[in-house]
Amino acid sequence: MIWHVAFSVDDLEEAMEKFGDALQVEWNPIKHYVGESMDADGKLFTLDTRLVFSAQGPVALELFENVPGTPNEPASGTIFHHMGYWTDNVNAEQDRLRECNWMHKGGKTVPESRAAFFSGPLGIFFEACNSSIERPGLGKYYPGVAPGMNQPDRVLKPH
């Protein structure tokens, strides 16, 4: 289930204003994120950025500050960065996506991993987000919570 669409921006407050005005979006509080991450070659790096999620759903809008030289840098010519979706097994997603020609580009793919990024033939990233790890303030976007969304385990099978 896709739960967010993300954009990498140079000026977070300006982007919040522009997206907010155009889409009538309200925002959760801005978060300053500093954490260790890993690139596709297994090299660890510290990611230091600010980010924000929209307050409305069922699909969230994420804005985060561009961090040149890291996977948080957008593709040339766009600020669109990735679509995030829920999975209960990031490592299994790596294997499944490899079969679809989507390659691991960053983030750990171990059971306790929060998320991992994959790129493929469309020139964009997918973020496989671990549904078993709590993300404070974002609980309403977790599988089975967003109103009006059919969850895979809740879809009725034809008789």
Q: How far apart are CA 122 and CA 159, in angstroms?
A: 37
Q: DSSP assignment of 79-99, as one string?
A: -EEEEEEEES-HHHHHHHHHH
**Residues 36-72 pLDDT 10s:** 887 778 788 888 999 999 988 788 999 999 988 877 8
Asked, for residue 123, whether it belongs to a domain, the answer is: yes
Q: How confident is the model at residue 153 (pLDDT cuts 50, 70, 90)?
A: very low
Burial 34-65 (b: 16+ CB within 10 A, else e): eeebbbeeeeeeebebebbbbeebebbbbbbb
The range of the structural domain enclosing residue 47 comes to: 2-139
**Residues 110-143 pLDDT 10s:** 878 888 899 988 878 999 998 888 877 777 777 7
User: Residue 75 is part of a domain; what is its CATH number?
Assistant: 3.10.180.10
> Cis omega before residue 152 (within 30°)?
no
- 117-120 long-range Cβ contacts below 8 angstroms, 24+ apart: 117/71, 117/82, 118/93, 118/94
Task: With a cut of 60, say whether residue 85 has pLDDT above it.
Answer: yes
Asked, for residue 39, whether it belongs to a domain, the answer is: yes
What does pLDDT average to over the chain? 83
Structure tokens at 91: 């490592």
User: How many structural domains compose the chain?
Assistant: 1
Q: How confident is the model at residue 145 (pLDDT cuts 50, 70, 90)?
A: low
Asked, for residue 155, whether it belongs to a domain, the answer is: no
Asked, for residue 70, whether it belongs to a domain, the answer is: yes
Q: What share of the chain is helix, strand, coil (3-state, %, to 5)?
A: 20, 35, 45
Task: With a cut of 70, say whether residue 156 has pLDDT above it.
Answer: no
Asked, for residue 158, whether it belongs to a domain, the answer is: no
Asked, for residue 126, whether it belongs to a domain, the answer is: yes
Structure tokens at 9: 């921006």
Asked, for residue 18, whether it belongs to a domain, the answer is: yes
Asked, for residue 144, whether it belongs to a domain, the answer is: no
